[in-house]
Chain A
Amino acid sequence: MSQAPQLEEILRSLLRRHLTDAEVYVKRGRSRRLERTTVTELSSTSQERAWAVRAGNRRASFFAAGTGDLTSGVAWPEPVAGHALELPEPAEVPAWTTPSDFDTPLIGEREGLKLLESLGRQLETELPGARMLRAVLEDGSSEAELANSRGLQASTRSRIATLYAEAAEFGRSFASASLYVAAREPRRFHPTALARRLADRLAVTAVGAPPERDGGEFLLAPVVMAHLLAGLLPLFVGPGPGARLLGARGRFGSEHVTLIDNGRLPGGAFESPVDGEGVPTREVVLVEDGLFRQPLLAWWQEGAAEGEPSGCTRRAGWRDLPAPGPTHLYLMPEPRTAVASLLGSIAQGYYLIDVTGPGRFDLAADRFALPVCGFAVQSGRASAPVARAWLCGGIGAFLKGIAGVGRDLTFHPLDGMIGSPTVLATGLELSKGSG
């Protein structure tokens, strides 16, 4: 049932307090969490009922959020002088049909635990000696409504499931690995594929070693490339120094680099017709064939940099203030390029299959370092496992050195959903340390 009348009543009560700019947001959600460790099992359900209000005038403002039902009897805090609150105007929202999987019920306790159990079993089959230490499946759905004093009204729904798994191998030598994935609903998680990914990581980490320092061609698996893109987000989001760093309108990457953000991406984990402030979302081309087109701009950043703003203000939860960021930011795949053909083209280099820890990105110094694992490659074939290695290089040189892009686009939950296919890159270095 729509809560629009209640939201209007709250807006009126705020106006009576001379808070001429106001936004009211209400959210209801439900989630199930299933967790298995080596010795314990947890099944929990949560129901969320909460609200958030931003209100102010030209001189002062406040943000208040709380659980329960929002009524006009809430005792608002006294606004404090500071930056004026700015709110978006209503805009026409292009037609959008709620995806059918938004209505699927949350995963059941038995089905969810079975999925986790199956993941553990598959892992042991893929790599005898490996053991799942902890696996957590979360599945949730929510509905939110918002209204502001400019007349904007919007309602959104969301549905997302995440899976975190941590495994170890206690065989020849000790190794551990973890993964974190997200999808619209948990039935899209395939235990065999996930177990294989963990097993590959464990097998490589157990016996691999880093090269002292080496170059060559680098085949970067989607998860590695997604982490690199996530580290480079300040270059793409907002009119800040990042966009200017690499010569905003000049060549940003090789002709294989086309970067897009799309809040309406069909099938995307955060697919929505409007953003966290009710502004219509759309596809925004940030980099096209290597040329920088525009950064991701929120409505209030219009004019601060060249480019058209879009609905890109995220609201992670009712506790969070809206802030701009990507929803589904991805490197465009090349549908005719198979990963095998990229691998086959490598004379000498590395195939890096996963990231093993947080990276370091120094955008001002144009340098990055990312801990990775994978294989050394000779004449298109894996020749030795590589682990505890750092992929290092210059950011500009890396983007301009992208020599090929595969067709296997996959998304990873990082800062928003960041997607990439497998990428062939040159001009990088693999070494023992991050320096």
Chain B
Amino acid sequence: MPFSKLDTAAVARALSQVAERQDDVVDAFFERREEVELAPEGEPGALRVWREEGFAVRLAREGRTWLAARDAIEPKPFSEALRQVARVIPSAAYPEPALEMAPPEPVVAPELLDFPATVARAVRAQHVGFPLRIAVRRHRRWVQVVGPRLVAAAESETFYSCSAESSWGRYGALLPRLDSTAADQIAAAVVALFRARQAKPPAPFRGAAVLGPAAVAVLLHEAVAHALEADTLAQGGNPEAAVGVAMAASCLDVLDDPSAAPEGVRRTTDDEGTPVVRRWLLRGGVVEQPLADSLWARTSPVLLPGAGRRGTRHLPPGPRSSHLEILPGDAQEADLFAGSDEGLFLPEASRGALDPLSGEFLLHLPMARRFRRGALAGTVGPCVLRGRVADLLTRVVAVGSEARPAGAGWCAKGGQKLPVWATAPALRLERVEIAP
């Protein structure tokens, strides 16, 4: 851990000078990041390395927040940042605590070098071959949060992102590990895009749709997680008013549990140093516990902190989901695809978008497959599933019996880009609208 030599007690003492009132939230957020990327073949700067560290000091009081961030972990800038956020300047200068950091380790990432070739082999194993531009990146992050009274344990995250681009589209994924399973996942997705290259988008369709686990993860990230963030809820009124609202079909149980995320990104505390919780967002389709950080949790006794996340030290934390878990149901694969009417199987979603004010929701699908009487049939090209969240989630009629890690990706909201993870089964929805 790079923070082992950080004098957290001295930082806490310095912060306590800024917290003048009992309800003040004051903290210091230290972070070190390292990203190493193997660029697509033929691009200059074949190996790319980004290393950064810095901190932010925050004071929050009665709905107002002051934040000062610096790109170096050094005593003098820390003392300056304290002075910037403090509302009262003391007669003496703020102390300059010892902020020694362990030196960064040399950049070694041999696992990146082999991965593009492993993906290419996995593609060939499916009896196809086409040019593929693969970029693969390792992300590492270390975080230490210090408050005036409590010092949370330092946290770290390591994961990978991969982007594979062919003439028929781009597939991007977040991966907890770079192994053969990851290579197979990338290969399957790009081969599916290749095989759907001449497929025409479907005509406007209203009927049954079966969403694969990856598409379910994107759908519920947008339609449940974002919709139940305390700051999103506050745009339409009081966030606590959402608790108890029947938002989805009764077969849907959705949780956010950062402590159950894949190894490497599992967390015990959030980016505010608060212990994370296994949070039931929806239990039986009913809203139980919206996502809240420490500031939103102070506005209502029904909101629990522990979901504060920050994409960068330069911005304050906000309530966000980390690892979404959709509990499996009892529908076997045959049940999901049953029925005499034609439906669409949506294995992957390239992106989703929610308008939090109107509740309108879009799920972009790079391709889909028709199904009828339990059997998969022809492939169709890119299409969009659209609807209003409140309406769409009530149309879930069956939940698959097997949940698996799927649908991890980047989530961008309010200028903060964060990795999000999910474990999901397949879902069947009835009477949904899908258009080209």
Does A345 make an interface contact (CB < 8 A)?
no
Interface residues of A in 60-106 (CB under 8 A from B): 60-68, 75, 77-86
Interface residues of A in 418-435 (CB under 8 A from B): 435
B52: chain A residues within 8 A (beta carbon): 50, 65-67
A39: chain B residues within 8 A (beta carbon): 63, 234
Q: A65-B50, A66-B52, A77-B49 are in contact. Are A44 and B314 (CB under 8 A)?
A: yes
Q: In the bound complex, what is the Cα–Cα distance between A38 and B314 (angstroms)?
A: 22
Does A379 make an interface contact (CB < 8 A)?
no
B272: chain A residues within 8 A (beta carbon): none
Q: In the bound complex, what is the Cα–Cα distance between A79 and B44 (angstroms)?
A: 11
B436: chain A residues within 8 A (beta carbon): 435
Does B403 make an interface contact (CB < 8 A)?
no
Q: Tell me whether B50 and A319 are in contact (CB under 8 A).
A: yes
Q: Tell me whether B47 and A174 are in contact (CB under 8 A).
A: no
Q: Tell me whether A37 and B314 are in contact (CB under 8 A).
A: no
- Which of B64-72, B90-98, B124-132, B416-424 touches A? B64-72
Q: Tell me whether A44 and B68 are in contact (CB under 8 A).
A: yes
Q: Which of B46, B104, B107, B235 contacts A60 (CB 8 A)?
A: B46
Does A46 make an interface contact (CB < 8 A)?
yes
B63: chain A residues within 8 A (beta carbon): 39-41
**Least distance between A382 CB and chain B CB atoms (Å):** 25
Residue of A nearest to B201 (CB): A435
Q: A61-B44, A66-B51, A82-B43 are in contact. Are A50 and B71 (CB under 8 A)?
A: yes
Residue of B nearest to A138 (CB): B415
Q: Tell me whether B77 and A133 are in contact (CB under 8 A).
A: no
Q: Tell me whether B45 and A85 are in contact (CB under 8 A).
A: yes
Q: A42-B65, A75-B107, A79-B46 are in contact. Are A67 and B358 (CB under 8 A)?
A: no
Does A47 make an interface contact (CB < 8 A)?
yes
Q: Tell me whether A77 and B107 are in contact (CB under 8 A).
A: yes
Q: Tell me whether B72 and A82 are in contact (CB under 8 A).
A: no
Q: Tell me whether A66 and B50 are in contact (CB under 8 A).
A: yes
Interface residues of B in 51-83 (CB under 8 A from A): 51-54, 63-72, 77
Q: Tell me whether A82 and B231 are in contact (CB under 8 A).
A: no
Interface residues of B in 229-254 (CB under 8 A from A): 231, 234-235
Interface residues of A in 86-134 (CB under 8 A from B): 86, 133
Q: In the bound complex, what is the Cα–Cα distance between A62 and B45 (angstroms)?
A: 4
Q: Tell me whether B316 and A44 are in contact (CB under 8 A).
A: yes
Residue of A nearest to B48 (CB): A63
Q: In the bound complex, what is the Cα–Cα distance between A121 and B314 (angstroms)?
A: 28
Q: Tell me whether A168 and B357 are in contact (CB under 8 A).
A: yes
Does B157 make an interface contact (CB < 8 A)?
no
Interface residues of A in 14-55 (CB under 8 A from B): 33, 37-50, 54
Does B401 make an interface contact (CB < 8 A)?
no
B315: chain A residues within 8 A (beta carbon): 33, 44
Q: In the bound complex, what is the Cα–Cα distance between A68 and B68 (angstroms)?
A: 17
Q: Tell me whether B68 and A77 are in contact (CB under 8 A).
A: no
Q: In the bound complex, what is the Cα–Cα distance between A206 and B161 (angstroms)?
A: 41
Q: Tell me whether B53 and A67 are in contact (CB under 8 A).
A: yes
- Which of B7-15, B34-42, B255-263, B319-327 touches A? B34-42
Q: Tell me whether A83 and B66 are in contact (CB under 8 A).
A: no
Does A56 make an interface contact (CB < 8 A)?
yes
Does B89 make an interface contact (CB < 8 A)?
no
B49: chain A residues within 8 A (beta carbon): 62-65, 77
Q: In the bound complex, what is the Cα–Cα distance between A67 and B52 (angstroms)?
A: 5
Q: Tell me whether B72 and A68 are in contact (CB under 8 A).
A: yes
**Least distance between A177 CB and chain B CB atoms (Å):** 10
Q: A44-B314, A80-B113 are in contact. Are A65 and B51 (CB under 8 A)?
A: yes
B45: chain A residues within 8 A (beta carbon): 54, 56, 61-63, 85, 321
B42: chain A residues within 8 A (beta carbon): 82-83
B84: chain A residues within 8 A (beta carbon): 45
Interface centre among B71, B231, B295 (most CB of A within 10 A): B71
Q: In the bound complex, what is the Cα–Cα distance between A40 and B60 (angstroms)?
A: 10
Does A281 make an interface contact (CB < 8 A)?
no
**Least distance between B128 CB and chain A CB atoms (Å):** 23
Interface residues of A in 164-219 (CB under 8 A from B): 168, 174, 176
Does B342 make an interface contact (CB < 8 A)?
no
Show 5 A/B contacts (Cβ-Cβ < 8 Å), sorted by A: A41-B64, A64-B48, A77-B47, A86-B44, A176-B355
